[in-house]
Amino acid sequence: MNKTKIQLFALSAITAATLVACGGDGSNTPSTTAPSEATPASLTLEKIGGFSTYQFDVSAAEIPAYDPASQRLFMVNALAGAVDVFDLSDPENPTLIDTLNTNDVLAGSVVNSVAVAKGIVAVAIEAPVKTNLGRMALYRASDLTLLSSRTVGAQPDMITFTPDGNTVLTANEGEPSDDYQIDPEGSISVIDVRDPRAPIVRTASFSAFTGQEASLRAQGIRIYGPGASASQDFEPEYITVSADGKTAYVTLQENNAIAKVDIETASVSNVFPLGEKDHGAIGNEFDASDTDGGTINIRNWAGVAGLYLPDAMASYTATDGKTYLVTANEGDARTWGEDNPAYFAGDTSQGFVEEFRVKHLVNRNGWAGRLNDDLPAHLDELANGGLLNPLVFGYCGAVAGNPNGCRADDQLGRLNVTWTMGYRTDANGAPLLFNSSGVEDPAGDRLMYDKLYSFGTRSFSIFDEDGMLVFDSGSEIERFLASDDCKVGSARNLNCKDFFNSGHDEGNALDSRSDAKGPEPEGVAVGQIGDKTFAFIGLERMGGILVYDVTNPAAPVRVDYYNTRDDWTNDPSDPAVLPTAGDLGPEGLVFIPAKDSPTGEPLLVVGNEVSGSTAVMRINLSF
């Protein structure tokens, strides 16, 4: 062990917690035990090891979990539908030693998520037909012996343990079939695993919310799948658990909401809406176009609101003793049947797509020209065109009956929004119709949009345990990526602004994601070091890991950004480029505290789904 490692080891004995995108390695929240280590002034990330499958953009490395006793790392390999098992005793040289396949549990199945606690590996298993019931299986970490398996809800997409390791929870997403004709109910399985050979499953369902759809919508909770009840429309995505193990919090991504689950009774006690972000307000600016002359244009857009739609979520206990939730506000549209021409030819029985560009949504000539191209069948059924309210969008040229310059590619034209919200309705929620001159007319065939809703907020947020917003990073992430202070590359020697909002699957792609979800925060893990708590946030598209000190939940401070991508010019799908491009598309993260680390140093392990690589990062502490 070198001198630096010895110094760090002497200073570190971390009490910590983890939440990983789609999984975890035990507790989801920092221990409430008093810290027994020195508190760092700051930290930086340094990649010290890794493993690559050399498989591009097929999710060959997604969700990590770590077992300290066996020093094994478990990584979901969605390409193989299995879990790759690594020896992490030497983090600089992780070695693939086995692959855990679940076909003996459920033939033709795939693994979605993995978590570890007390030497037990829990795996979430999706059925070959995703709308069928899935499975949860338990294995011994040291030798992969199958201990048991149990049936859970449809499409278990995330799995985690309570902090004491006695209970496993799965988020059963219950996505619809691609044609949206089968839509299983979402649920959370609460599984007693104190005897891992005889686990006991209970189900926290959303059945109590069915019949309350109108009230829920009025609160701001999105329930909009065609013909879906609340229990069908709710799609649990990620779970985090309070430090006392009594409460689970579950993101309902497409619904823009979080569910609160009482673990003792295995019941959903509440669902609270996350609201919207006003992109017309100072501090909430963003770049809305990928074709605005190759320039970075971060500005306010009145009348545009962002829906948080968080993917991963972590929780921690702050110094006030309260639980706080950290969300990565990726944004996600429902796009089912998007590869079926029949849907875009007008057949609503073949899918459901809510995403549409502004320039097509508010074309004064209507949207018939998009038929058999990208016109959602359900939108076509609703009306024949859309208009912008000139009292809101006059700043970009909208007048009665004509959106004018607002449709321009360097204005709002390229932005992807949901057509399902923002148009004027009557008291019952039915659309009010307007004529082509912009006058309300029962015989008209146009929708009037007072507001446009984009996907995600290009930020991370902190909510309290009752769903109240405590902090949002606003435009800070995009502004940082566009600044002279931001550097990328394994040697931190390249200017971020030269690759601002690039796509993770493209070369030389400046600004290519600005019309969609920008840098796209997706994964998040939290870890306590001394008496500070840090959040590690993965940017799916731009790539890299942002680190914030979130000890004060109302005033997080950015402390580092690390992006190992070196080749930003050439196409990374080229087999000759991928091995040297760097890590692309971080999906899942796991924080390994020093007390559990093979080296006695805190580590961060990242699964990168686009490059198919596992990255092991040392967390260098400064005092």
Q: Where exactly are the structural domains of the chain?
A: 3-276+487-501+560-622, 336-454
Residue 91 has pLDDT above 70, yes or no: yes
- pLDDT at residue 507 in the model: 87
**Over the stretch 134-156, which tens digit does the pLDDT of each residue have?**
999 999 999 999 999 999 999 99
Beta strands in 355-443 (DSSP E): 355-357, 385-388, 416-418
Triad 69, 74, 78: Cα angle to 5°: 170
User: Which DSSP symbol is given to 433?
Assistant: P
pTM (two decimals) = 0.94
Residue 6 has pLDDT above 60, yes or no: no
Residue 28 has pLDDT above 80, yes or no: no
Q: Which residues contact 389 (CB under 8 A, 6 or more apart)?
A: 303, 398, 424, 448, 449, 450
Question: What CATH number has the domain spanning 3-276+487-501+560-622?
Answer: 2.130.10
Question: Is there a contact between 538 and 606 (Cβ–Cβ < 8 Å)?
Answer: yes
Q: What secondary structure does DSSP assign to 336-368, as a single string?
A: ESTT-HHHHTT-GGG-EE-EEEHHHHT-TT-SG
User: Which DSSP symbol is given to 377?
Assistant: H
Question: What is the distance of C-alpha 498 from the center of its chain?
Answer: 25
**Over the stretch 255-305, which tens digit does the pLDDT of each residue have?**
999 999 999 999 999 999 999 999 999 999 999 999 987 899 999 999 999
Confidence of residue 22 (pLDDT cuts 50, 70, 90): very low
Element (H, E) at 260: strand 257-262
Lowest mean pLDDT among 52-56, 184-188, 426-430, 474-478: 426-430
User: Which DSSP symbol is given to 434?
Assistant: B
